[in-house]
Amino acid sequence: MASDDKPEGNAYPESAHGEFGYSVARLSLNVGGDLVLPGLGTTAALFVDRFIGNPVEKRRAEFFNLLAQGLSDLQLRLGGFDFRTLGQNEEFISVVAFAAGAATRTHREEKREALCNAALNMAAGNTLDDILVGTFLALIDRYTVHHIAIARLLAAPRDNDLVLQHCELRGYCSIADAVAAALPDVPRASVEQAILDVCLDNITQSNYLSEIKSSEVLAKQTTARGDAFIRFISSPIPS
Extents of the domains making up the chain: 20-53, 55-142, 145-227
Question: What confidence tens digit (pLDDT) does each residue in 92-134 have?
Answer: 999 999 999 999 999 999 999 999 999 999 999 998 999 999 9
Residue 6 above 50 pLDDT? no
Q: Is 43 helix (H, G, I), strand (E, B) or coil?
A: strand
Q: Where are the alpha helices (DSSP H) in the chain?
A: 20-30, 44-47, 55-77, 90-103, 109-123, 130-142, 145-155, 161-168, 175-182, 188-200, 214-217, 224-232
Q: Return the closest-CA partner of residue 7 out of 139, 138, 120, 170.
A: 120
Q: Is 201 helix (H, G, I), strand (E, B) or coil?
A: coil
Task: Say what percent of the chain tops pLDDT 70.
Answer: 78
Residue 76 above 90 pLDDT? no
The residues, ordered by sequence, that sit 6+ positions from 207 with a Cβ below 8 Å of its Cβ are 175
Pairing state of beta strands 36-37 and 42-43? antiparallel
